[in-house]
Amino acid sequence: MVLELRNLVLGLLFWLCVLPWAEGGKVLVVPIDGSHWLSMRDVVRELHARGHQAVVLAPEVNLHIKEEDFFTLQTFPTSYSQEEFGYIFQRHRQMIFKTHFLEKFLETIESMKNGSMMYYKSCSELLHNQLLNRHLNESAFDVVLTDPVNPCGALLAKYLSVPAVFFLRFIPCDLDFEATQCPNPSSYIPRLMTMNSDHMTFLQRVKNMLFPLGMKYICHINHSPYASLASELFQRDVSLVDILSHGSVWLFRGDFVLDYPRPIMPNMVFIGGINCANRKPLSQVCMLPLCN
């Protein structure tokens, strides 16, 4: 009896030694085009290097999401043209350099409204593509990696009943706080785009409390259609917070070096500097005043 038990233990130890400690998983990546994708691409490359299989799901009309050797690209048709898509991005780039607060706010509303309409159209076409969704479901993905600034990836993960990992900088209207049930005191945390610091005057604190109201209006315009789409898919009332609450892990492309400290939840991880891994030395540039 003792000999048999010893042989059983030795056999288990042998299999533990020869079997891999971890196996590569299948990751469905649902990115947002532009700089969002350029940040996420490094993560997808690292996932491939660690033995995971990544499938990037993107619309046929895009700017930067192209086939590469470390992932499989799966595209789906869209009802808008390359010219229409490029125009939206061009308007958004111009808005970033506006300096006047009210002008920037109004331009932000217009830019986000146009961009959101296009993204929503694309998302609706994706989720109503029964052939593609059947293929994605049969592929048995282990996780969906997506940027929740566009809720489509989060909605797709919930629809496929696959865990979601969110990779983002922030969500303008604090939906990340609501979805994670994270404390968010307005008198303590300076709001992005307000130019406030952590030492606010009374009027700055008032501005800090009022600013989210305008951003919530933007989110209502841009994101409410996704709640209607989700309610249609699940045949019940679904809010945007319900969709984002599906996220298992939130990876924030920030840290407390550039951002002010704030409360976080256990599934919120700060990964600031992740895009600095492939840094290159500055080129030698001769400034005219220094060359004389």
In terms of pLDDT, which residue wins out, 261 or 71? 71
Q: What is the pLDDT of residues 90-122, one digit of tens each?
A: 766 666 665 566 676 677 667 777 777 888 999
Strands (DSSP E) along the chain, which ranges?
26-30, 53-59, 72-76, 143-146, 164-168, 247-252, 268-270
226 closest CA partner among 214, 211, 238:
238
What pLDDT, in 10s, does the model give residues 124-172?
Answer: 999 999 999 999 999 999 999 999 989 999 999 999 999 999 999 888 7
Superfamily holding 23-275:
Glycogen Phosphorylase B; (3.40.50.2000)
Higher pLDDT, 280 or 277: 280
Indicate the SS3 state at residue 161: coil
Taking the C-alpha atoms of residue 20 and residue 82, their distance in angstroms, rounded to an integer, is 45
Q: Does position 181 have pLDDT exceeding 70, yes or no?
A: yes
Which of 99-113, 126-140, 246-260, 270-284 is predicted most confidently?
126-140
Q: For residue 89, give the amino acid letter.
A: F
What is the rounded average pLDDT of the residues 267-278?
Answer: 79
Alpha-carbon distance 279 to 281, whole Å? 7
Domain ranges of the chain: 23-275
Pairwise pLDDT comparison (193 vs 59), residue with the higher score: 59
Query: What's the average model confidence in pLDDT over 279-292?
Result: 58
